[in-house]
Structure 1
């Protein structure tokens, strides 16, 4: 049995990209900072993002990156995926959009 303080291995590392397939997911990019993602947004994973993503039970939303079935089970749809934004996703969005 794994130690409860042991953190799971994440499918992403600093420097990897995550893109968003649905709007409305709140992303913490740095402790105390973040944004609500929209279709076509992408973010570069940072060490600060990873450090700030762990909850009190040693789980991170980043554990769900690349796991469509886990996202479907938790949210009812796939919000994000690993990698740069594919052309078919950007065609669905007003991309690139300007952040205020």
Structure 2
């Protein structure tokens, strides 16, 4: 994200016309700061990702608990839908970055 906007990078194609190409879904890496380390497990992170969009992957460092400041997951989001800004976990609202 640059200046609050998503930057989409695609493979070069000859004769590409931006006006004729609309991106509807993109894969994004999402950070969830302040998530308790006890919740860094496959099932819980997969459920969080599924609440955000179509869950694709859990970051390796997150899955082996080597980072404690944030969890990182990859999800496919539909740009035609409203983005999920935060989630509720154990009664607390956690921002999604």
Normalised to the residue count of structure 2, the TM-score between the two structures is 0.30
Bigger fraction of residues in strand: 2
Larger radius of gyration: 2
